[in-house]
Amino acid sequence: MKFEVKVPAVGESVTEATVGEWVKKNGEAIRRNDILLVLETDKASVEVVAEQDGVLFTKVAQGQTVPIGTVIAVIDSEAQATTASPANTNAATAATGVPAATTANGGQSTPTLPRGPAQVGGFTSSAAGGGSVGTSAEAKFSPPPPPPPPSTAHPDL
Protein backbone atom coordinates (compact mmCIF):
# COMPACT_ATOMS: atom_id res chain seq x y z
CA MET A 1 0.00 0.00 0.00
CA LYS A 2 1.25 3.49 -0.81
CA PHE A 3 1.02 6.42 1.58
CA GLU A 4 1.50 10.02 0.40
CA VAL A 5 3.67 12.29 2.55
CA LYS A 6 2.36 15.85 2.24
CA VAL A 7 3.64 19.20 3.48
CA PRO A 8 1.70 19.74 6.73
CA ALA A 9 -0.12 22.95 7.61
CA VAL A 10 1.95 24.56 10.35
CA GLY A 11 0.08 27.82 10.87
CA GLU A 12 -2.62 30.04 9.43
CA SER A 13 -0.30 32.48 7.67
CA VAL A 14 2.19 29.87 6.41
CA THR A 15 1.51 29.05 2.75
CA GLU A 16 4.72 27.28 1.69
CA ALA A 17 7.72 25.39 3.03
CA THR A 18 11.24 24.63 1.86
CA VAL A 19 12.71 21.13 2.07
CA GLY A 20 15.64 21.74 4.42
CA GLU A 21 17.21 18.29 4.61
CA TRP A 22 16.15 14.77 3.77
CA VAL A 23 17.17 12.73 6.82
CA LYS A 24 16.14 9.49 5.08
CA LYS A 25 17.24 8.90 1.51
CA ASN A 26 15.28 7.94 -1.61
CA GLY A 27 14.80 4.15 -1.75
CA GLU A 28 15.67 3.68 1.93
CA ALA A 29 13.65 1.36 4.18
CA ILE A 30 11.96 3.31 6.96
CA ARG A 31 9.94 2.55 10.06
CA ARG A 32 6.93 4.30 11.53
CA ASN A 33 7.92 7.48 13.45
CA ASP A 34 11.32 7.76 11.71
CA ILE A 35 12.17 11.38 10.91
CA LEU A 36 12.01 11.69 7.12
CA LEU A 37 12.95 15.30 6.53
CA VAL A 38 13.09 18.79 7.97
CA LEU A 39 10.88 21.48 6.46
CA GLU A 40 11.76 25.16 6.87
CA THR A 41 9.09 27.87 6.91
CA ASP A 42 9.30 31.57 7.64
CA LYS A 43 8.07 30.79 11.17
CA ALA A 44 9.60 27.44 12.20
CA SER A 45 11.47 24.28 11.32
CA VAL A 46 9.26 21.19 11.26
CA GLU A 47 10.30 17.54 11.31
CA VAL A 48 8.10 15.28 9.20
CA VAL A 49 7.89 11.69 10.48
CA ALA A 50 6.84 8.48 8.75
CA GLU A 51 3.31 7.35 9.46
CA GLN A 52 3.95 3.75 8.37
CA ASP A 53 6.74 1.27 7.64
CA GLY A 54 7.92 0.92 4.05
CA VAL A 55 10.31 2.29 1.47
CA LEU A 56 10.65 6.04 0.93
CA PHE A 57 10.39 7.50 -2.57
CA THR A 58 11.08 11.25 -2.59
CA LYS A 59 9.35 13.54 -5.08
CA VAL A 60 10.84 16.92 -4.10
CA ALA A 61 14.52 17.85 -3.98
CA GLN A 62 16.30 19.41 -1.01
CA GLY A 63 16.09 23.21 -1.17
CA GLN A 64 12.88 23.24 -3.20
CA THR A 65 10.01 25.43 -1.95
CA VAL A 66 6.51 23.95 -2.27
CA PRO A 67 2.97 24.95 -1.19
CA ILE A 68 1.31 23.46 1.88
CA GLY A 69 -0.42 20.16 1.01
CA THR A 70 2.02 19.21 -1.77
CA VAL A 71 2.94 15.51 -1.99
CA ILE A 72 6.69 15.48 -1.27
CA ALA A 73 7.21 11.72 -0.96
CA VAL A 74 5.50 8.34 -1.09
CA ILE A 75 5.98 5.48 1.38
CA ASP A 76 5.38 2.10 -0.26
CA SER A 77 4.85 -0.71 2.25
CA GLU A 78 5.17 -3.40 -0.45
CA ALA A 79 8.38 -2.21 -2.15
CA GLN A 80 11.89 -3.52 -1.52
CA ALA A 81 14.54 -1.10 -0.29
CA THR A 82 17.36 -0.29 -2.66
CA THR A 83 20.89 -0.05 -1.36
CA ALA A 84 23.65 1.82 -3.12
CA SER A 85 26.58 -0.48 -3.79
CA PRO A 86 30.12 0.92 -3.59
CA ALA A 87 30.41 0.47 -7.38
CA ASN A 88 27.30 2.61 -7.95
CA THR A 89 28.55 5.26 -5.54
CA ASN A 90 31.95 5.41 -7.24
CA ALA A 91 30.28 5.58 -10.66
CA ALA A 92 28.16 8.52 -9.52
CA THR A 93 31.26 10.27 -8.20
CA ALA A 94 33.10 9.65 -11.47
CA ALA A 95 30.17 10.92 -13.53
CA THR A 96 29.76 14.16 -11.61
CA GLY A 97 33.28 14.63 -10.29
CA VAL A 98 31.84 15.41 -6.87
CA PRO A 99 31.56 12.85 -4.07
CA ALA A 100 28.29 12.59 -2.22
CA ALA A 101 28.02 15.03 0.67
CA THR A 102 27.99 13.67 4.20
CA THR A 103 27.39 15.37 7.50
CA ALA A 104 29.77 15.21 10.44
CA ASN A 105 27.28 13.23 12.51
CA GLY A 106 26.34 10.68 9.83
CA GLY A 107 23.20 12.41 8.54
CA GLN A 108 21.46 12.78 11.89
CA SER A 109 21.11 16.55 11.71
CA THR A 110 17.99 17.95 13.32
CA PRO A 111 17.74 21.67 13.98
CA THR A 112 14.65 21.31 16.12
CA LEU A 113 13.94 19.41 19.31
CA PRO A 114 11.68 16.53 18.29
CA ARG A 115 10.65 15.51 21.80
CA GLY A 116 10.75 16.85 25.33
CA PRO A 117 14.12 17.24 27.10
CA ALA A 118 13.58 14.18 29.31
CA GLN A 119 13.09 11.97 26.23
CA VAL A 120 16.33 13.06 24.56
CA GLY A 121 18.62 12.82 27.59
CA GLY A 122 17.73 16.16 29.11
CA PHE A 123 18.20 17.13 32.71
CA THR A 124 14.78 18.39 33.71
CA SER A 125 14.87 16.79 37.16
CA SER A 126 18.09 18.54 38.14
CA ALA A 127 17.43 21.91 36.53
CA ALA A 128 17.27 24.76 39.02
CA GLY A 129 14.67 27.43 38.52
CA GLY A 130 15.58 31.03 37.90
CA GLY A 131 13.85 34.30 38.38
CA SER A 132 13.55 36.87 41.12
CA VAL A 133 12.06 34.61 43.81
CA GLY A 134 14.36 32.69 46.12
CA THR A 135 17.49 32.96 48.21
CA SER A 136 19.74 34.33 45.46
CA ALA A 137 17.39 37.28 44.98
CA GLU A 138 17.24 37.87 48.72
CA ALA A 139 21.02 37.90 48.93
CA LYS A 140 21.36 40.40 46.08
CA PHE A 141 18.76 42.88 47.21
CA SER A 142 18.03 44.34 50.61
CA PRO A 143 14.72 45.93 51.56
CA PRO A 144 14.47 49.69 51.06
CA PRO A 145 15.38 51.84 54.05
CA PRO A 146 12.47 52.86 56.25
CA PRO A 147 11.00 56.31 55.61
CA PRO A 148 12.19 59.12 57.91
CA PRO A 149 10.02 59.68 60.97
CA PRO A 150 7.48 62.50 60.68
CA SER A 151 8.53 65.81 62.12
CA THR A 152 6.87 66.68 65.47
CA ALA A 153 7.84 70.36 65.46
CA HIS A 154 5.04 72.74 64.47
CA PRO A 155 6.03 76.08 63.10
CA ASP A 156 4.14 79.11 64.35
CA LEU A 157 1.33 79.95 62.07
Distance CA 57, CA 67 (A): 19
Domain span including residue 59: 1-80
CB 69 within 8 A of CB 60: no
Would you write out the chain's pLDDT as a tens digit for each of its 157 residues? 899 999 998 888 889 999 999 999 999 999 999 999 999 998 889 999 999 999 999 999 999 999 999 999 999 988 887 654 444 444 444 444 444 444 444 444 444 544 444 444 444 444 555 555 555 555 566 677 888 888 777 766 5
pTM over the 0.75 mark: no
- Is residue 144 in some structural domain? no
Q: Structural domain tally of the chain?
A: 1
Q: How many CB atoms lie within 10 A of CB 77?
A: 11
- Is residue 2 in some structural domain? yes
CATH of the domain at 67: 2.40.50.100
Distance CA 22, CA 19 (A): 7
